[in-house]
Amino acid sequence: MEVKAEEIIRKTAEVLTKLLDVTATKDWTNCTARADVVVDGQTLLTQAPVSYLLFLEKQLTDLRAFIKKLPVLDAADTWTFDQSSDCWATEPVQTLRTFKTPRNHVKAEATEHHPAQVEVYYEDVTIGYWRTVKFSGALPARRVNEMLEKLEKLSQAVKFAREEANNSEVEEQRVGERIFQYLFQ
C-alpha cells in the first residue's frame, strides 16, 4: 500500500485550514480597517476602507504618469494667456521676406574693340513683412510642477492612511476547521 487516502485528506486539511484561517482573518480585518486621508491638515476622505486606499494608491501612480506626459510650454518663448483665444500666445514677432534680384555691375564700358565687362551680383529686395504669433494649449512648467507636488503630498497621505488602517486590531478567524469537518466527516 503506497498511500492512505485518509492520511492525505488529514494532511491536506491541516495545511489548507491554516490558509483559510489566515485569509479569513485578513479579509475580515480589511472589512473593518479604515482610516482618514489628511493632506495639509484637510481631511479629504473620512474612514476610507483599506481596499479603497490600495486602489487609490495605484490610481495616483497612474495619474503621476499622466501629469508627467502633459505638454509644457516651450521655455524659449515668452508666453501670456490670451483670453480671446483661450490659450497661451507669444508676443508678435515681425519678420520679412526677401527675394534675390540679379543686378549688373559694369566693370569696364564697351569700346569699339572690346565688349563691356559686366559682373552679375544679387541684391536682396524686401517683398513683404508679416507678424508671427505662436499659440499653445500646453501648460506652464510651474503649473505641472505644482500638480506633481500636490500629487506627491496626496500619495504620501494615502500611504500613511493605509498603514494606519493596517494597524487595526486583528480578530483571528478560525473557519478552516469547521469547513473541513463539514466536508470530510
pLDDT in tens, 120-164: 999 999 889 999 999 999 999 999 999 999 999 999 999 999 999
Least confident range of 87-96, 117-126, 174-183: 174-183
- The contacts of residue 63 (CB under 8 Å, 6+ apart) are 151
Give the three-state DSSP class for 35. Answer: strand
Residue 181: what pLDDT?
Answer: 84
- pLDDT above 90 (res 4): no
- CA–CA gap between residue 116 and residue 21 (Å, rounded): 111
Which of the 8 DSSP states describes residue 184? H
Listed residue (180, 168, 139, 136) closest to 29, CA to CA: 168
Q: Could you tell me which residues are beta bridge partners of residue 103?
A: 121
- The contacts of residue 137 (CB under 8 Å, 6+ apart) are 71, 87, 88
Q: What average pLDDT does this structure show over 74-87?
A: 94
Q: In 8-24, which positions are buried (b, 16+ CB within 10 angstroms) versus exposed (e)?
A: eeeeebeeebeebbeeb
19 contacts 13 by C-beta, under 8 angstroms: no
Listed residue (77, 71, 50, 70) closest to 159, CA to CA: 50
Higher confidence at residue 1 or residue 68?
68
State the pLDDT confidence band at 34, using cuts at 50, 70 and 90.
very high
- pLDDT above 80 (res 1): no
Least confident range of 39-48, 77-86, 95-104, 176-185: 176-185
- Average pLDDT over the chain, rounded to an integer: 91
Give the three-state DSSP class for 89. Answer: strand
- pLDDT above 70 (res 49): yes
Q: Distances from the Cα of 146 to the Cαs of 37, 123, 185, in angstroms? A: 20, 53, 64
pLDDT over 70 percentage in the chain: 99
